[in-house]
Structure 1
Amino acid sequence: MGKIVDAIPAALYGNPNLRIYVSTNIAKAYVRALGGFAALSGTVGNVAPAPGVNSQSTMWYNGGALSFDGVEIFWAPGLANNTAIATTTDNLFFGTSVLSDLNEVKVIDMADMDGSQNVRMIMRFVGGAQYGAVENVVTYGILNSAN
């Protein structure tokens, strides 16, 4: 994650909306690494203290906030393994294909078919995550135009 933080532009670093969105395997590895700082000098007999600060194992208490070098980490289960994206929350959008000829929305009144007071809806469209300014995006493990 150090490579990601090092690549973040100076204008973005320190922005309260800055996040590093990480895949599940990166999040798991980071949480596991947080518990690996035990010093075995406090061993009593054959019993070593648990890893982590105050022998509390990993430092991810009840799914609380994670951060790295002052940047908040957001676990994004939909990302492919070994991928991460750093950007601000206001630079990400849900984009759709509103100009496509393949979009379709239908409302079917069921009263004529079965006498009920129900309607059925059919919607066909495309949607996905989009970014606003490419210069405000840092990627890791993704080959694209952003980096």
Structure 2
Amino acid sequence: MDNQKLVNYLNQLLSNQFVMYVKLHRYHWYIQGSHFFQLHDLFEEMYDEFAKQLDETAERLLMIRGKPLATMASYLKVASLVEASADNTEEEMMTQLLSDLNQLISEIRDLGLPLANDGQDEVTIDTLIGFQRYYEKMQWMLQAYLHQL
């Protein structure tokens, strides 16, 4: 079974997870305003989750005989998400995170799951569905939050 396309997708996912991990740290450090305590804690919770997902994705790559990317340069080259590059406002942070989550969900649905399904890789399918579940929950929560602004 040739799984190079799945390996490539998982490396893109790994890269995106790393970009999110760093972006969430930045937001955690730089959030200001009336929702500081609430968002400071939320961003920490999210980057902790992304740290776990990074490890899970890299280990899955190794299990299917792939090689996980492991440098900042390679992550930024392969990622479809972009780094946070400015001191964003609270609303800009939340809107960017929502956009990133939408992208992750779309790529799992349209790229990752079909590739894992084609390779009859049930474990990767299960892993991706777990990630998608988390991303959809956070998507829902951020949409609800933005509705209040």
Q: TM-score, normalised by structure 2?
A: 0.28
**Greater strand share, 1 or 2?**
1
Q: TM-score, normalised by structure 1?
A: 0.28
Select the structure with the greater relative contact order (CA < 8 A; seq sep ≥ 6).
2
